[in-house]
Structure 1
Amino acid sequence: MLTPLDINKKEFHRSFRGYSCEEVDEFLEQVLRDYGQVFRENQELREKNLRLTEELERYARLEQTLKDALVMAQQTADEMRQNAQREASLILQEAENKAREILNQARLQVEKAERYQSDLEARAAAFKMRLRSFLQAQLELLATEEVAAAAVTDGQPAGIQDPHAANAAPSEG
């Protein structure tokens, strides 16, 4: 993947009928600024995704701990039932209610984190699509300008093209 530094250090060879150095430099500066911003945002999203993944893992460990605690509470309740059926019944009911509440809260938090992650991924995809469209439009604009410039160089107005020249490939030197 290109980095902003790669874009900044890119040099083009000059040719007889090459591009305008100022236009290329201006375009590269714009690309560098935009790409740098996208690169930073991508890094931030990666870091945020990593934090969310770690948080999700923490919730998964918490859920497992809660499941283990529930199993242990049930075993304790069985032992206490042997000693005193009423007392064990009340304790088991309370433990199950609390465990359900904690598990429901943990699930809600996990779902919220997953929705947030999906939203971030959707935003990143939308941004990439907009960037791709923008770059494609810029390429088409450059191609149109090159055709107009070639027509002017051949001595024709920008809107009129030589029908024979359209089939011939331009030679680059």
Structure 2
Amino acid sequence: MWLSEVTLEGKEVHLVPLRKNHREGLLKAASDGDLSKLWYTSVPSEETIDAYFQYAFNEQNEGHALPFTIIDKKTNTIIGSTRFCNVTSTHKRVEIGYTWYAKSFQRTAKNTETKLLLLSYAFETLQCIAVEFRTHHENKASQNAITRLGAQQDGILRQHQQLQDGSYRDTVVYSILNNEWNTVKQQLEIRLNH
């Protein structure tokens, strides 16, 4: 398999393979800001976390995903989760998605470093030709964060998914290409060092 479990280590965070024993830590992180109540994203709650794990592990077993738990190195506490998903090994493409942080860690250096670790691994170890980001059309905070990373908008997939309540999700798609990576990496490193 092209993807295999790995731990990614930075100064602020380390990303470890998602495990079921992270359950309580993830629920505690999600309760910081009542994230599971946000209708335009999928943050686990007490009612949905088992299905969240099952889906992540099924996707991983099929070679379509590699889920991580994000741990704050200073306090050794779980602050969120992220994953490589929609993996296309034949074309060396991955998406970074299912990313969420406890409210008190949003828009911090920990997010920037998490993305730097994932992107570095994708482009420098996996030799990806492109890394995608996707978000709900109504999730403006996520769109702004993706743009700040240096990703370019590819387009909008209209009525891309039907949600549980019957409504439709328009998905905004962004990407960073391998020939853009050096510039994006320099910008992220500058942001982290200031």
Q: TM-score, normalised by structure 2?
A: 0.21
Larger Rg: 1
Which structure's residues are more often strand, by fraction?
2
Which structure's residues are more often helix, by fraction?
1
Higher relative contact order (CA 8 A, sep 6+): 1
Q: TM-score, normalised by structure 1?
A: 0.23
